[in-house]
Amino acid sequence: MKTLKLLTALLSCIALNISAQSEKVYHTFTSTRIINSQSTETVKEGYMDIRITHRFGDFMRDWKPENSWGNLLGLEEAADVMVGFEYGIKDNLTAGISRTKGGADMRQLMHGLLKYRPLTQTTDNAIPLSLAIVGTASWATMKRSNFDPFNPVLSSLSVCETCAGYFANRWRYALELHLARKFSSRFSMQLSPMLIWRNLVRSGEQNALFTANAAARIKLTKGMALMLDANLPFSSTFWGPNRRYEIPLGLGFEFETAGHCFQINFTNSKGIVGTDYISDTNSDWLNGEFRLGFTISRLVKLKKTFPEN
Protein backbone atom coordinates (compact mmCIF):
# COMPACT_ATOMS: atom_id res chain seq x y z
CA MET A 1 0.00 0.00 0.00
CA LYS A 2 2.81 2.37 0.91
CA THR A 3 4.65 1.43 -2.26
CA LEU A 4 1.52 2.05 -4.32
CA LYS A 5 1.04 5.47 -2.75
CA LEU A 6 4.67 6.35 -3.38
CA LEU A 7 4.50 5.19 -6.96
CA THR A 8 1.31 7.16 -7.57
CA ALA A 9 2.85 10.28 -6.07
CA LEU A 10 6.01 9.86 -8.14
CA LEU A 11 4.06 9.36 -11.34
CA SER A 12 1.92 12.41 -10.60
CA CYS A 13 5.03 14.53 -10.02
CA ILE A 14 6.54 13.39 -13.29
CA ALA A 15 3.29 14.02 -15.11
CA LEU A 16 2.79 17.47 -13.58
CA ASN A 17 6.34 18.49 -14.33
CA ILE A 18 6.32 17.40 -17.91
CA SER A 19 2.72 18.30 -18.70
CA ALA A 20 3.31 21.83 -17.45
CA GLN A 21 5.44 22.38 -20.52
CA SER A 22 3.87 19.99 -23.06
CA GLU A 23 0.47 19.88 -24.68
CA LYS A 24 -1.67 16.92 -23.69
CA VAL A 25 -3.17 14.49 -26.11
CA TYR A 26 -6.91 14.46 -25.72
CA HIS A 27 -9.51 11.84 -26.50
CA THR A 28 -7.30 8.82 -26.85
CA PHE A 29 -10.66 7.09 -26.62
CA THR A 30 -14.12 8.57 -26.87
CA SER A 31 -15.56 7.09 -23.71
CA THR A 32 -14.46 5.61 -20.40
CA ARG A 33 -15.14 2.12 -21.76
CA ILE A 34 -14.02 0.19 -24.79
CA ILE A 35 -16.83 -2.33 -25.10
CA ASN A 36 -16.41 -3.92 -21.65
CA SER A 37 -12.95 -2.88 -20.54
CA GLN A 38 -12.08 0.43 -18.98
CA SER A 39 -10.15 2.95 -21.05
CA THR A 40 -7.67 5.60 -19.90
CA GLU A 41 -10.33 8.29 -20.30
CA THR A 42 -11.74 9.87 -17.18
CA VAL A 43 -14.82 11.97 -16.76
CA LYS A 44 -14.11 15.70 -16.88
CA GLU A 45 -14.29 17.56 -13.58
CA GLY A 46 -17.79 18.52 -12.63
CA TYR A 47 -19.42 16.22 -15.18
CA MET A 48 -21.46 13.11 -14.56
CA ASP A 49 -21.49 10.23 -17.00
CA ILE A 50 -24.77 8.34 -16.91
CA ARG A 51 -24.40 4.91 -18.49
CA ILE A 52 -26.90 2.27 -19.42
CA THR A 53 -25.50 -0.96 -20.78
CA HIS A 54 -27.35 -4.02 -22.00
CA ARG A 55 -26.18 -7.41 -23.13
CA PHE A 56 -28.72 -9.59 -24.91
CA GLY A 57 -28.90 -13.37 -25.11
CA ASP A 58 -26.94 -15.72 -27.35
CA PHE A 59 -27.14 -14.76 -31.01
CA MET A 60 -27.34 -18.28 -32.43
CA ARG A 61 -26.34 -20.97 -30.00
CA ASP A 62 -24.69 -23.98 -31.67
CA TRP A 63 -25.38 -22.19 -34.97
CA LYS A 64 -28.88 -23.61 -35.04
CA PRO A 65 -31.45 -21.26 -36.59
CA GLU A 66 -34.16 -22.56 -34.27
CA ASN A 67 -32.11 -21.29 -31.34
CA SER A 68 -31.94 -17.80 -32.81
CA TRP A 69 -35.66 -17.71 -33.72
CA GLY A 70 -36.51 -18.89 -30.23
CA ASN A 71 -35.12 -15.72 -28.68
CA LEU A 72 -35.03 -13.52 -31.76
CA LEU A 73 -31.24 -13.44 -32.11
CA GLY A 74 -30.95 -13.03 -28.36
CA LEU A 75 -33.01 -9.85 -28.23
CA GLU A 76 -35.66 -11.41 -26.02
CA GLU A 77 -33.16 -12.23 -23.30
CA ALA A 78 -31.11 -10.00 -21.05
CA ALA A 79 -27.77 -11.58 -20.18
CA ASP A 80 -26.82 -8.54 -18.15
CA VAL A 81 -27.94 -4.97 -17.61
CA MET A 82 -26.04 -2.11 -16.05
CA VAL A 83 -27.09 1.31 -14.82
CA GLY A 84 -24.21 3.41 -13.62
CA PHE A 85 -23.10 6.89 -12.68
CA GLU A 86 -19.56 8.17 -12.84
CA TYR A 87 -18.53 11.57 -11.61
CA GLY A 88 -15.42 13.57 -12.45
CA ILE A 89 -13.99 14.70 -9.10
CA LYS A 90 -11.03 16.14 -10.93
CA ASP A 91 -10.13 15.99 -14.59
CA ASN A 92 -8.02 12.91 -13.88
CA LEU A 93 -9.99 11.37 -11.02
CA THR A 94 -13.32 9.64 -11.47
CA ALA A 95 -15.51 7.87 -8.96
CA GLY A 96 -18.44 5.73 -9.96
CA ILE A 97 -21.19 3.50 -8.73
CA SER A 98 -23.20 1.06 -10.76
CA ARG A 99 -25.59 -1.83 -10.46
CA THR A 100 -25.61 -4.88 -12.71
CA LYS A 101 -27.88 -7.87 -12.90
CA GLY A 102 -24.82 -10.13 -13.09
CA GLY A 103 -23.86 -12.40 -15.96
CA ALA A 104 -22.77 -15.42 -13.96
CA ASP A 105 -23.55 -16.90 -10.56
CA MET A 106 -23.17 -13.70 -8.62
CA ARG A 107 -26.25 -11.53 -9.09
CA GLN A 108 -27.58 -8.13 -8.15
CA LEU A 109 -24.13 -6.70 -8.10
CA MET A 110 -23.25 -3.28 -6.78
CA HIS A 111 -19.95 -1.91 -8.03
CA GLY A 112 -17.83 0.93 -6.73
CA LEU A 113 -15.16 2.36 -8.95
CA LEU A 114 -12.26 4.72 -8.60
CA LYS A 115 -10.16 5.69 -11.60
CA TYR A 116 -7.05 7.83 -11.47
CA ARG A 117 -5.03 8.95 -14.44
CA PRO A 118 -1.58 10.08 -13.28
CA LEU A 119 -0.07 10.25 -16.76
CA THR A 120 -1.43 11.72 -19.96
CA GLN A 121 0.31 11.33 -23.28
CA THR A 122 1.75 14.57 -24.65
CA THR A 123 1.94 15.73 -28.24
CA ASP A 124 5.73 16.03 -28.16
CA ASN A 125 6.12 12.46 -26.83
CA ALA A 126 7.73 13.66 -23.62
CA ILE A 127 5.14 11.33 -22.12
CA PRO A 128 4.52 8.68 -24.79
CA LEU A 129 1.65 6.90 -23.03
CA SER A 130 -1.39 7.60 -20.94
CA LEU A 131 -1.73 5.61 -17.74
CA ALA A 132 -4.86 5.01 -15.73
CA ILE A 133 -5.26 3.00 -12.54
CA VAL A 134 -8.68 1.58 -11.83
CA GLY A 135 -9.89 -0.04 -8.64
CA THR A 136 -13.23 -1.80 -8.55
CA ALA A 137 -15.06 -3.42 -5.68
CA SER A 138 -18.12 -5.54 -6.42
CA TRP A 139 -20.67 -6.76 -3.92
CA ALA A 140 -23.25 -9.44 -4.70
CA THR A 141 -26.41 -8.31 -2.92
CA MET A 142 -28.49 -11.29 -3.99
CA LYS A 143 -30.85 -12.84 -1.42
CA ARG A 144 -30.24 -16.22 0.08
CA SER A 145 -31.61 -18.91 -2.16
CA ASN A 146 -32.35 -22.54 -1.46
CA PHE A 147 -29.46 -24.87 -0.99
CA ASP A 148 -28.24 -26.11 -4.35
CA PRO A 149 -25.71 -28.96 -4.09
CA PHE A 150 -24.84 -28.62 -7.74
CA ASN A 151 -23.87 -25.00 -7.40
CA PRO A 152 -21.23 -24.62 -4.75
CA VAL A 153 -20.98 -20.89 -5.29
CA LEU A 154 -24.64 -20.28 -4.60
CA SER A 155 -24.52 -22.79 -1.80
CA SER A 156 -21.81 -20.95 -0.04
CA LEU A 157 -23.67 -17.73 -0.38
CA SER A 158 -27.01 -19.10 0.66
CA VAL A 159 -26.53 -21.73 3.34
CA CYS A 160 -23.46 -20.96 5.29
CA GLU A 161 -24.79 -18.01 7.14
CA THR A 162 -22.76 -18.79 10.20
CA CYS A 163 -19.64 -19.69 8.31
CA ALA A 164 -16.74 -17.40 8.75
CA GLY A 165 -16.56 -15.06 5.80
CA TYR A 166 -20.20 -15.35 4.71
CA PHE A 167 -20.43 -11.65 3.99
CA ALA A 168 -16.94 -11.71 2.56
CA ASN A 169 -17.96 -14.40 0.05
CA ARG A 170 -20.02 -11.82 -1.77
CA TRP A 171 -17.08 -9.58 -2.64
CA ARG A 172 -14.80 -9.36 -5.62
CA TYR A 173 -12.14 -6.81 -6.44
CA ALA A 174 -10.21 -5.69 -9.47
CA LEU A 175 -7.05 -3.66 -9.85
CA GLU A 176 -6.33 -2.55 -13.38
CA LEU A 177 -3.46 -0.68 -14.97
CA HIS A 178 -4.27 0.75 -18.38
CA LEU A 179 -1.54 1.93 -20.70
CA ALA A 180 -2.76 3.60 -23.86
CA ARG A 181 -1.30 5.47 -26.76
CA LYS A 182 -2.97 7.55 -29.43
CA PHE A 183 -0.88 6.71 -32.45
CA SER A 184 -2.80 8.99 -34.78
CA SER A 185 -6.19 10.65 -34.99
CA ARG A 186 -7.47 7.36 -36.41
CA PHE A 187 -5.84 4.72 -34.20
CA SER A 188 -5.49 4.28 -30.45
CA MET A 189 -4.45 1.18 -28.59
CA GLN A 190 -4.40 0.08 -24.99
CA LEU A 191 -2.73 -2.72 -23.04
CA SER A 192 -3.79 -3.47 -19.48
CA PRO A 193 -2.45 -5.87 -16.88
CA MET A 194 -5.14 -6.67 -14.34
CA LEU A 195 -5.65 -8.52 -11.14
CA ILE A 196 -9.07 -9.89 -10.27
CA TRP A 197 -9.50 -11.10 -6.70
CA ARG A 198 -12.46 -13.30 -5.89
CA ASN A 199 -13.12 -14.07 -2.27
CA LEU A 200 -15.13 -17.12 -3.24
CA VAL A 201 -14.00 -19.47 -6.00
CA ARG A 202 -14.81 -22.94 -7.23
CA SER A 203 -12.48 -25.76 -6.29
CA GLY A 204 -9.41 -25.93 -8.49
CA GLU A 205 -9.43 -22.18 -9.07
CA GLN A 206 -7.30 -19.48 -7.53
CA ASN A 207 -8.62 -16.41 -5.73
CA ALA A 208 -6.19 -14.22 -7.64
CA LEU A 209 -6.62 -14.15 -11.38
CA PHE A 210 -4.03 -12.29 -13.40
CA THR A 211 -5.10 -11.19 -16.80
CA ALA A 212 -4.01 -9.00 -19.69
CA ASN A 213 -6.36 -6.91 -21.76
CA ALA A 214 -5.77 -5.48 -25.21
CA ALA A 215 -8.13 -2.96 -26.74
CA ALA A 216 -8.08 -0.69 -29.75
CA ARG A 217 -10.11 2.03 -31.38
CA ILE A 218 -10.05 2.70 -35.10
CA LYS A 219 -11.71 5.99 -35.87
CA LEU A 220 -13.58 5.98 -39.15
CA THR A 221 -15.01 9.51 -39.07
CA LYS A 222 -15.13 12.28 -36.48
CA GLY A 223 -18.15 10.69 -34.87
CA MET A 224 -17.79 6.97 -35.59
CA ALA A 225 -15.22 4.38 -34.56
CA LEU A 226 -14.63 0.64 -34.58
CA MET A 227 -13.66 -0.94 -31.26
CA LEU A 228 -11.89 -4.15 -30.38
CA ASP A 229 -11.51 -5.65 -26.94
CA ALA A 230 -9.82 -8.89 -25.83
CA ASN A 231 -9.04 -10.24 -22.39
CA LEU A 232 -6.44 -12.96 -21.83
CA PRO A 233 -6.55 -14.47 -18.33
CA PHE A 234 -3.45 -16.28 -17.11
CA SER A 235 -5.15 -19.36 -15.79
CA SER A 236 -5.31 -22.92 -17.03
CA THR A 237 -9.08 -22.83 -16.59
CA PHE A 238 -9.20 -20.62 -19.71
CA TRP A 239 -6.93 -22.59 -21.97
CA GLY A 240 -6.78 -26.06 -23.44
CA PRO A 241 -9.49 -28.55 -24.39
CA ASN A 242 -10.66 -29.00 -20.79
CA ARG A 243 -11.07 -25.34 -20.10
CA ARG A 244 -13.98 -24.19 -18.01
CA TYR A 245 -14.11 -20.68 -19.35
CA GLU A 246 -13.70 -18.79 -22.59
CA ILE A 247 -11.63 -15.76 -23.54
CA PRO A 248 -13.82 -12.64 -23.54
CA LEU A 249 -13.61 -11.01 -26.97
CA GLY A 250 -15.60 -8.05 -28.23
CA LEU A 251 -16.09 -6.09 -31.43
CA GLY A 252 -18.16 -2.95 -31.68
CA PHE A 253 -19.04 0.39 -33.19
CA GLU A 254 -19.15 3.67 -31.37
CA PHE A 255 -21.15 6.76 -32.37
CA GLU A 256 -20.48 10.08 -30.75
CA THR A 257 -22.88 13.00 -30.84
CA ALA A 258 -22.82 16.20 -28.85
CA GLY A 259 -23.23 14.95 -25.29
CA HIS A 260 -24.04 11.30 -26.08
CA CYS A 261 -21.92 8.29 -26.86
CA PHE A 262 -23.65 5.20 -28.28
CA GLN A 263 -21.88 1.87 -28.51
CA ILE A 264 -23.19 -1.20 -30.29
CA ASN A 265 -21.13 -4.34 -29.94
CA PHE A 266 -20.87 -8.08 -30.17
CA THR A 267 -19.19 -9.98 -27.38
CA ASN A 268 -19.22 -13.47 -25.99
CA SER A 269 -19.11 -12.31 -22.36
CA LYS A 270 -22.39 -12.05 -20.56
CA GLY A 271 -21.19 -9.89 -17.72
CA ILE A 272 -20.43 -6.20 -18.11
CA VAL A 273 -18.08 -5.28 -15.28
CA GLY A 274 -14.57 -6.73 -15.09
CA THR A 275 -15.07 -8.54 -11.78
CA ASP A 276 -17.97 -10.37 -13.39
CA TYR A 277 -17.10 -11.14 -16.97
CA ILE A 278 -13.34 -11.66 -16.98
CA SER A 279 -13.39 -14.65 -14.68
CA ASP A 280 -16.77 -16.12 -15.57
CA THR A 281 -17.24 -15.98 -19.32
CA ASN A 282 -18.17 -19.43 -20.58
CA SER A 283 -19.75 -18.51 -23.91
CA ASP A 284 -17.85 -19.52 -27.01
CA TRP A 285 -17.81 -17.39 -30.18
CA LEU A 286 -17.30 -20.50 -32.25
CA ASN A 287 -20.55 -21.98 -30.92
CA GLY A 288 -22.54 -18.89 -31.84
CA GLU A 289 -22.66 -17.92 -28.18
CA PHE A 290 -21.99 -14.25 -28.72
CA ARG A 291 -24.46 -11.51 -28.15
CA LEU A 292 -25.50 -8.09 -29.26
CA GLY A 293 -25.07 -5.36 -26.71
CA PHE A 294 -25.35 -1.60 -26.50
CA THR A 295 -24.30 1.20 -24.23
CA ILE A 296 -25.78 4.67 -24.02
CA SER A 297 -23.65 7.21 -22.24
CA ARG A 298 -24.76 10.75 -21.58
CA LEU A 299 -22.60 13.47 -20.09
CA VAL A 300 -24.30 15.93 -17.81
CA LYS A 301 -22.59 19.00 -16.47
CA LEU A 302 -23.24 19.24 -12.74
CA LYS A 303 -20.67 21.78 -11.64
CA LYS A 304 -21.48 24.99 -13.45
CA THR A 305 -18.08 26.56 -13.75
CA PHE A 306 -16.19 27.58 -16.81
CA PRO A 307 -12.48 28.00 -17.24
CA GLU A 308 -11.70 31.69 -17.65
CA ASN A 309 -10.74 33.04 -21.02
Partner 1 sequence: MRYRKILLLAASIAVFTTFAAMSYPENSLKKSLNFDDDTPLSVLLEKFGEKPVYKQVQVTADAVEQGRALLRKGFTTAPNSKKTPRQSKFFVCTSCHNVQKEFDDLSIIHPEARLDYAVKKGIPFLQASTFYGIVNRTSFFNGDYQKKYENSLGIKEANKDLSAAINFCAVNNAQGRRLKEWEINSILAYFQTLELKVSDLKISADEKLQIQNVLNAGINDKTAIDLLKSKYAVAMPATFLKIPRFEIPDPSLYNDNKRLKDGKAIYEQACLNCHFQKKYSFFGLDKELLTFKALEKATRTENYIFSPYFLVREGLSPRMGHRFHMPLFTAEKMSPEQLESLYLYISAMAKKKYKE
Residues contributing to the site for partner 1 (CB under 8 A): 26-27, 44, 184-186, 219, 221-223, 258-259, 299, 304-309
End-to-end CA separation in angstroms for the chain = 41
Nearer to partner 1, 43 or 119 (CB): 43
Q: Output 146 or 184, the one with its CB closest to partner 1.
A: 184
CB of 52: closest distance to partner 1 in angstroms?
Answer: 18
| Closer to partner 1 by Cβ: residue 27 or 90 | 27
Nearer to partner 1, 23 or 62 (CB): 23
Closer by beta carbon to partner 1, 144 or else 303:
303
- Between 44 and 99, name the residue whose CB sits nearer to partner 1: 44
Q: How far is the CB of 43 from partner 1 (least distance, A)?
A: 12
The full 3-state SS of the chain, as one line of letters, equals CHHHHHHHHHHHHHHHHHHHHCCECCCCCCCCEECCEECCCCCCCCEEEEEEEEEEEECCHHHCHHHHHHCCCCCCCEEEEEEEEEEEEECCEEEEEEEECCCCCCCCEEEEEEEEEEECCECCCCCCCEEEEEEEEEEECCCCCCCCCCCHHHHHHHCCCCCCCCCHHHEEEEEEEEEEEECCCCEEEEEEEEEEEECCCCCCCCCEEEEEEEEEEEECCCCEEEEEEEEEECCHHHCCCCCCCCCCEEEEEEEECCCEEEEEEEECCCCCCHHHHHHHCCCCHHHCCCEEEEEEEEEEECCCCCCCC
- Quote the least distance from Cβ 257 to partner 1, whole Å: 8
CB of 2: closest distance to partner 1 in angstroms?
35
